[in-house]
């Protein structure tokens, strides 16, 4: 039962990761937006690919971007699922804290 939330976060992050990597690869989007949506692509573009064949360099950049975006979004989704589970477990305590 303890492994359900991390694996769920990994599975939920897969389509988000692919979309974020596609956004990070688009040249019509502002760099700031790309950095927020796809930090993996921004980091992967700084890799040293000199001396490699073209397809090897492209695969190195894309796979690094996919991996980093997957980790990024998995952590965000895991945090969201954890907060949601805590709110479901103690709904009255969260309502009392919100009242001023």
In this predicted model, what pLDDT tens digit does every residue of 35-94 receive, in sequence order? 999 999 999 989 888 888 999 999 999 999 999 999 999 999 999 999 988 888 876 655
Instruction: Tell me what pLDDT residue 2 has.
Output: 75
Whole-number pLDDT of residue 59 = 92
Predicted local distance difference test score (pLDDT) of residue 92: 65
How open is the CA angle 52-56-62, to the nearest 5 degrees?
A: 125
- Say whether pTM exceeds 0.95: no
Write down the pLDDT at residue 1: 53
pLDDT at 66: 95
Give domain limits for the chain: 13-93
Q: Is 48 helix (H, G, I), strand (E, B) or coil?
A: coil
């Amino acid at each position: 039962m303890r492994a359900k939330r991390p694996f769920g976060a990994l599975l939920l992050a897969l389509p988000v990761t692919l979309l974020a990597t596609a956004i990070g690869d688009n040249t019509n989007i502002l760099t700031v937006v790309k950095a927020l949506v796809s930090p993996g692509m921004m980091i992967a573009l700084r890799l040293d690919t000199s001396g490699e064949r073209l397809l090897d360099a492209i695969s190195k950049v894309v796979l690094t971007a996919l991996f980093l975006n997957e980790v990024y979004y998995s952590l965000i989704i895991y945090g969201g699922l954890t907060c949601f589970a805590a709110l479901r477990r103690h709904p009255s305590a969260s309502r009392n804290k919100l009242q001023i």
